[in-house]
Amino acid sequence: MDWFLFKDGDFCGGDASSESCNSFRDALQKLSTKPQNDSTIAYQYYAPFSRMFTKPIGRGATWSGEHKPYNLFVQGKDTGHRSNGKLLIYLQGVDCCGGDGKIENEVKSYEQAFELVKQWNNTDGAVFLHEPS
């Protein structure tokens, strides 16, 4: 897994903790001390407060693009798919509940879901595969 940056990406709320962080460079240095290979924890550097927030899943954070200049760091895998200058990354064990747009039923595998996502070509959102249903 690698680190990826969502520039001006924001998970509002759901903070588990925060720590002082004086610059983007300082944020990058702090990431090197965080648990590796874990998509279930994001870190958010917010320059106006000079803070880095820890955002684990399951604490009620809401995805938003309204606040700037947030810098949201996540760990995932590059799928190799590119569209409109953006790359598609895979985060294992992560779900943003609510806000459902398009729902496709009877998707049975990661491979099938991956092909659908490429066909949809929507680079302004996230897609989640709920394997049990």
Model pLDDT for residues 9-44, shown as the tens digit of each residue:
778 888 999 999 999 999 999 999 998 888 889 999
Q: Which residues have C-beta within 8 Å of that of residue 70, sequence separation ≥ 6?
A: 8, 9, 10, 44, 45, 46
pLDDT at 23 (0 to 100): 95
Rounded (10°) CA dihedral 50, 27, 60, 76: 160
Q: At 113, which helix (H) or strand (E)? A: helix 110-120
Which fold does the domain 2-76 belong to in CATH?
A: Hepatocyte Growth Factor (3.50.4)
Residue 90: name the closest of 55, 117, 66 by CA. 117
Is-contact 75 3, C-beta < 8 A?
A: yes
Rounded Cα–Cα distance for residues 108 and 28 (Å): 37
Q: Model's pTM, two decimal places? A: 0.80
Rounded (10°) CA dihedral 91, 97, 102, 107: 60
Q: What is the mean pLDDT of residues 110-121?
A: 89
Average pLDDT of the chain is 85
Tokens of 38: 């874990």
